[in-house]
Amino acid sequence: MRVGIMGGTFDPIHTGHLIAAERARVGAGLDEVWLMPANRPPHKPNVPKATTQQRWEMVCLAAESNPFFRPLDIEITKGGVSYSIDTIELLCQEYPDTEFSYIIGADMVQYLPQWHRIDDIVRHIRFIGLARPGYDLDMAHMPVNIRESVSIFPMPLVEVSSTMIREERRERGSVRYLVSDAVYAYMEVNRLYES
Ligand code: ATP
């Protein structure tokens, strides 16, 4: 089985994530995409605004919108800072017959050279890179082992971020349709990100 892992802070999960996951699934011919919230992302200085439980519940709700999506709690269960190399080793142990790739947006593509133990990571898995407004997918400046580990698939530019959604909520704007209906309802009921 071929599985794409889409990791993220998902604070909250939004349509940019879901479109990227779906594009990667179809483009790379994946059997499934597993949506995996990080416990504590190593590259983000601020702690997430929503609780870990809330981020997880929103990922579960979003995953229900697509029969090929599934939520994965491996990093939350492990706890601590979520380094991809640790996760990849765990996944390979737990699912020895599954071929994993990582789905990332262009901002993360540009950040790849800074990933903790990236040289080990690219020996284990391949990356699927997708366009994101404000970031290019040019990898000419990167070491060849990293550059060659990334395949790019078409993706419409989706100018949505979790930051934008949190700000919009704080200012009482509408984020409807920027997140799935179920996630929208969850944020309303729990008054998430309102202040
Ligand atoms: P924040 O605004 O809080 O920094 P974010 O919107 O960037 O969050 P993350 O959960 O950090 O969301 O992103 C997880 C993954 O999804 C990353 O690989 C990121 O590149 C990708 N991604 C997020 N938003 C988009 C988008 N609009 N288009 C393409 N990829 C995206």
Q: From ligand 1's centre to the CA of 13, what distance in Å?
A: 8
| Token reading at 151 | 């395949």
Q: What is the pLDDT of residue 45?
A: 81
Give the separation between CA 32 and CA 28, rounded to whole angstroms: 11
Global pTM reads 0.97
State the closest ligand 1 atom to the C-alpha of 164, by its place in the atom list counted from 1.
2
Q: What is the pLDDT of residue 21?
A: 98
Instruction: Find the DSSP H helices in 3-142.
Output: 15-28, 52-63, 74-78, 84-94, 106-111, 118-124
Residue owning the nearest CA to atom 25 of ligand 1: 16
Give the separation between CA 107 and CA 128, rounded to whole angstroms: 13
Q: Would the CB of 108 count as within 6 Å of ligand 1?
A: yes
Q: From ligand 1's centre to the CA of 105, what distance in Å?
A: 6
Choices 3.30.930.10, 3.90.550.10, 3.10.150.10, 3.40.50.620: CATH for 2-158: 3.40.50.620
Mean pLDDT for back-to-back runs of 10 residues, the chain (195 residues): 98 98 98 97 89 98 98 97 96 96 97 96 97 96 97 97 98 97 98 94
Backbone angles phi, psi at 84, to 5 degrees: -60, -35
Q: What is the pLDDT of residue 43?
A: 86
Q: Would the CB of 12 count as within 6 Å of ligand 1?
A: no
Helix, strand, coil % (nearest 5) of the chain? 40, 20, 40
Look at the block and give the residue holding tokens 């380094």.
83
Residue owning the nearest CA to atom 23 of ligand 1: 17
* Domain range list for the chain: 2-158
